[in-house]
Structure 1
Amino acid sequence: MLQAKNVSFGYHRRRKEVLSDFSLSLKTGKVYGLLGKNGVGKSTLLYLMSGLLTPKRGRVMYRGTDVRRRLPATLQDMFLVPEEFDLPSVSLVSYIELNSRFYPRFSKEDMVRYLHLFEMDMDAHLGALSMGQKKKVFMSFALATNTSLLLMDEPTNGLDIPGKSQFRKFLASGISEEKTIVISTHQIRDIDKVLDHVLIMDNSHVLLDESISGICNKLLFMESDDRELAKRALYALPSVQGNYLMLPNTEEAETEINLELLFGATLSVPEKIAEMFHPQMNEPR
């Protein structure tokens, strides 16, 4: 669906490129979690995917078309929800009438449904909303456009605890086989139940590119105070009960993913993770 091929990009004030010879592929119908440390280029990558930034080298192709061309057929089929944005001081109805015409598959019925999940309605005036409320409205509009690609940068920032719970229900209600969603976030616990694929990037490389089911088939996540078990763990973090452990799932036991553990392990022992999921990366060239 989308391919970033050997992409390099840097901002004028920085000597070092944010992304250098970076490559990534997205498939249709997946909900991706894009994870990485601050400054590795997650937000930059989303802007490159949407065509709002142009790579210095390489290309980003969407359904066979270079996104830098900014063709109407491409733009009407993708939507970016940035971490920070502003909305005009107009009624929500006016905003929808003005902007929905750019998206042929926009559904007012879907918009109403998503707003209700956030306990909001169509009679809102954008100028009177808090930042968290504006985010709920904007995300509802984004999902209601029914674009094939939806990019979201830190979507749960600014939401209160009930809002984060509402977000998970909202996102789950909009998932379909025709829609690909990419969520870049540091708020791992806000999205772990809605993802079906994990991308972890660092230093212009994709360290992990794997489905949730594939990860849970090979890794076991648990909490235990067993010290011997902790010694055998691939990675561990302290917990109230002892330790959160990530171990090889040798007996194919059922397990729920712990993204915090997985993320820490991928950055701390990338060679072990690559050996388990991407053995070709460790092969001599």
Structure 2
Amino acid sequence: MSHAPVRANPSHAINAVGLTKRFGSIVAVDDVNLTVAPGAVFGFLGPNGAGKSTTIRMLLGLIRPSAGTATIFGERADDVRNVHRHLAYVPADVALWPSLTGAEILELLARLGPGVDGEYRAELISRFALDVDRPARAYSSGNRQKVALVAAFSTRAPLLVLDEPTSGLDPLMEREFRRCVIDARDRGQTVFLSSHQLGEVEALCDTVAILRAGHVVEVDSVTDLRRLRRTVVEVSYRDEEPLLTDIPGVGDVEHLDAKRLRFTMSGSPAAALRALAAVDVTAVAMREPTLEEVFLDYYGEASR
């Protein structure tokens, strides 16, 4: 890792410049640049194997980059002792001390971390329905995840780094997780959320970075990211079918049944609306694409 001076901006919760990690001939992460503002909920999106966890481990100073630099609130990520005073981390696979109870683990983590709100921790134990009197060896993967989430959310660390944090949780507990992220945001904490669950990211995040094969292919707000894609239009009609061929901005025309079709539209809708007005249209529905459709489009896997 290069030890050249880094121009760190403490107004950035996270600042990564050219982060690269090679394992032999394999490039796991390639020239990743990220800036996360304090108080943001930042989504880090990509399928398993895209390089999300490797990037996070570099941001946390747990592995050294092959190239590039990262800072957390202006401090170098490789200064682990200082950097970890500012953050709480939930890994994708939580490992606990098997002979300790949940309560003992939470108390130990509280002593090691950046300070805990004991009253809020008790509330979280109840909300997550966590039996803290059982030893960790008796916990399922979901309960191990709950311990890590309670420990992280009960801190007042300015940065929460969450790597696939809802793996193993049932839908009710996922709802509690989302409430906790919103609570953290409202307190002014920064949340860096790595996930492949698109609905989770779409519901919670202000800004999203999409990682593909170790490369960041887009960083934008969820709203603007959707607008990069085409609007989806569904039309029902009585007699003649609207003529949509060769209309600028119209594509992916698909017949849903005898008198109903779907198409995508980008740019000005004027020409498409004129084509629809020329026939007896009975219903029109328009919607923005979901983040899932945007994401699949980046990977060339969208079905329409």
TM-score by length of 1: 0.78
CA drift of 1:39 comes to 2.3
The counterpart of 1:260, out of the listed 292, 298, 302, is 292
Q: Distance in 2 between matches of 1:3 and 1:86?
A: 28
Q: Who is 1:52 aligned against?
A: 62
Question: In the alignment, what sits opposite 2:102?
Answer: 92
| 1:52-93 deviation per Cα after TM superposition (whole angstroms, max 9, x unaligned) | 11112211112222111213x311211221111211131222
| Aligned residues with identical type, % of pairs | 24
> Residue 267 of structure 1 aligns to which amino acid in structure 2?
Y
CA distance, structure 1, for counterparts of residue 256 and residue 292 of structure 2: 12
Cα deviation per residue 1:15-59 (whole Å; 9 max; x = unaligned)?
121122222111111111111233221110011111111112211
User: Following TM superposition, by how much is the alpha carbon of 1:225 offset from its aligned partner in structure 2, in angstroms?
Assistant: 5.3
User: Aligned residue for 1:77?
Assistant: 86
Hey, what's the Cα distance between the residues in 1 that align with 2:192 and 2:255?
A: 30
* Secondary structure in structure 1 of the residue aligned to 2:109: helix
Contact 1:199 1:210 in 2 (8 A): yes
Once residues 127 and 220 of structure 2 are traced to their aligned partners in structure 1, the CA distance between those partners, rounded to angstroms, is: 30
Gaps of 5+ in 2: 1-11, 237-241, 271-285
**Using a 3 Å threshold, how does the CA distance of structure 1 residues 225 and 35 change in structure 2: closer, same or farther?**
farther
Q: In proportion to residue count, which structure has more helix?
A: 1
2:20 is aligned with 1:8: yes
- For the Cα contact (< 8 Å) 1:4–1:60, is it kept in 2? yes
CA contact (8 A) 1:87 1:126 kept: yes
The alpha carbon displacement at 1:204 in A equals 4.0
Counterpart residue number, 1:160: 170
Conservation of the 8 A alpha-carbon contact between 2:94 and 2:148: no
Q: Using the alignment, how far apart are the partners of 1:97 and 1:236 within structure 2?
A: 59
Q: 1:119 to 1:31 in 2, by over 3 A?
A: same
Structure 1 residue corresponding to 2:143, chosen from 133, 136, 146: 133
Deviation per CA, 1:180-220: give whole Å up to 9, x if none: 11111112123321111111122443222112243456667
Amino acid at match of 1:8: T
> SS of the residue aligned with 2:153?
helix
Does the Cα contact within 8 Å between 1:219 and 1:248 map onto a contact in 2?
no
3-state SS of the aligned residue for 1:68?
coil
1:24 aligns with 2:56: no
Range moving further from structure 2, 52-61 or 190-199: 190-199
* Structure 1 portions without partners, runs of 5+: 270-285
Return the alpha-carbon distance in structure 2 between the equivalents of residues 106 and 236 of structure 1. Answer: 55
Q: Does the CA contact (< 8 Å) of 1:234 and 1:265 recur in 2?
A: no
Deviations 1:242-269, CA, capped at 9 Å, x for gaps = 7696855979xx9776110111223349
1:4, CA displacement in angstroms? 1.1
Alignment partner of 2:78: what SS?
helix
Query: 3-state DSSP class of the match of 2:31?
Result: strand
Distance (Å, rounded) in 2 between the aligned partners of 1:249 and 1:163: 43
Structure 1 residues 52 and 245, CA, compared in 2 at 3 Å: closer, same or farther?
farther
TM-score (norm 2): 0.73
Contact 1:216 1:255 in 2 (8 A): no
Q: Is the radius of gyration larger for structure 1 or structure 2? A: 2
Alignment match of 2:205 (pick from 154, 179, 195): 195
